[in-house]
Amino acid sequence: MTTVYYIAGILLIVLGVGVSIALHELGHLVPAKRFGVKCSQYMIGFGPTLWSRTIGDTQVGVKAIPLGGYVRMIGMIPPRAGDAPGQLRSMSTSRMGTLVDQARQQSMDEIEPGDENRVFYKLSVPKKVTVMLGGPLMNLALAFVMLTILMSGIGVQSLVPTVSTVAQCIPQTPPTVAKPFADCVAGDPKAPSVAAGLQAGDTIVEVGGVPVQLWAEATAKIRASAGQPLDLMVERTGTRVPLTVQVGQVVRPTFTEEGKVAVRADGTVITETVGYLGASASVGYVRQPLSAVPGELGRMLGATASVLLRIPEKMVGVFEAVTGQSDRDPNGPVSVVGVARAGGEIVSGQYGPETGQSIAYRIIGLIFGLNLALFLFNLVPLLPLDGGQVVGALWEGVKKTWARLRGRPDPGYVDVAKALPIAYAVSTVLIAMTLLLAYADLVTPIKLG
């Protein structure tokens, strides 16, 4: 049964990745068609075609390797100045130059009689930018929807005031760096939670007459009430039960911003005396207001961008991990193989007991992160990425505007074919990175739990 759940988790991730790719390419397809560009293919995946059908003048299909997709728009590369329609003059004898000429010829060959005004290169600059940004913006919109579901639908994982365990005593052993929270020993006084009748499974809904939703809200009042009686309202099996607790006192260590036990110069632990109930929290999901989503999306965009900027450094670490020189960085990049593997591990319970809610939270979270990365990655201003086409279009706009202001003739379209050597180099690097990451996710996988 575990194997079945593992496969189900992988299939959920594959489905999520497929939908993300499909919507990304749809973000290109819809505006391109609306602006009159002929789109001969809309494909999800690469490699051999598994299924296809023709809708209008577009072949729609699914290919075997779900690592991307594409929309084939005719006339992506403009003719060179001086070339007759449908005719290409060979300008280079070098190998790279020949490849560029072949790519230009292929682009011209796609233009059939009657399609001369349905080519991408004849679009205005704003329309070109709209078409090329449509894909990444679709990923951003999808990420926003999924983050809204996570935060306001399922809720954010938090410590909630549902009691998971009840302590039996107030520990009297002083805290140390090695053991900041002492265990009960013979002679320690009974915990206030036990004396008041608090039980595992109770949910604290009020402390001192004030409603609480998070464990931190409850403990803040408890810690400030050392040695004093405190009224609690708990919910037990659907019924509200009032309890009065005589809050105890306990010596606790203080912590640094990094989460380490704070110590003095002589190595002794810095402590404080606080109120003590003797109960531990549970992990639950707390729904956030819709107004909190945009701010969190902005924060995570910044965090993801900082990770992408360090990709070259991270890839060195991946290479060292697969060659046995170091351990795999748990915060390093992963491929779709790694994400799919994590999906299988989540659904099959390899990260511990899971509920339907927690599985949904983790799976949606993985696809959310993938879409956020796709949005930012495709904005990189290099061909063959969408950002490279955007830069080409903007440069065309700058050149035309400058010529118009100076009263000079229209300089024509920007020849993106000149950047094809860069595109080939970038494609080679991306393929190498993808293969390295996929191999690393098979032999030295990251445990995302």
Residue 254 and residue 265 in contact, taking contact as beta carbons nearer than 8 Å: no
Cα 377 to Cα 434: distance, rounded to the nearest angstrom: 14
Catalytic entry in 25, 206, 345, 396: 25
Tokens of 115: 């399609």
Q: Where are the alpha helices (DSSP H) in 178-331?
A: 192-196, 215-223, 292-309, 311-322
In order, the DSSP letters of 360-417 are HHHHHHHHHHHHHHHHHHTTSSSTTSHHHHHHHHHHHHHHHHHHHHTTPPP-----GG
Nearest Cα to Cα of residue 70 among 38, 119, 20, 29: 29
Instruction: Please report, as a single letter, which amino acid is at residue 271.
Output: T
- DSSP 8-state symbol, 324: T
Residue 203 and residue 163 in contact, taking contact as beta carbons nearer than 8 Å: yes
Asked whether the bond before 175 is cis by omega within 30 degrees of 0, the reply is: no
Specify whether 313 is catalytic: no
φ/ψ of 330, rounded to 5, equals -65, -20
Tokens of 195: 């004396």
Residue 69 and residue 17 in contact, taking contact as beta carbons nearer than 8 Å: no
Tokens of 43: 């494909």
In order, the DSSP letters of 267-297 are SPBPEEEEEE--EEEEEEEE---TTHHHHHH
Cα 249 to Cα 382: distance, rounded to the nearest angstrom: 62
Q: Is the dihedral of CA 291, 294, 297, 298 positive or negative?
A: negative
- Backbone torsion region of residue 174, taken as left when φ is above 0, otherwise alpha when ψ lies between -120 and 50, otherwise beta: beta
Instruction: Please report, as a single letter, which amino acid is at residue 35.
Output: F
Nearest Cα to Cα of residue 215 among 164, 161, 163, 165: 161
Residue 192 and residue 241 in contact, taking contact as beta carbons nearer than 8 Å: no
Q: Where are the alpha helices (DSSP H) in 45-191?
A: 95-109, 125-148
Residue positions annotated with a catalytic role: 25
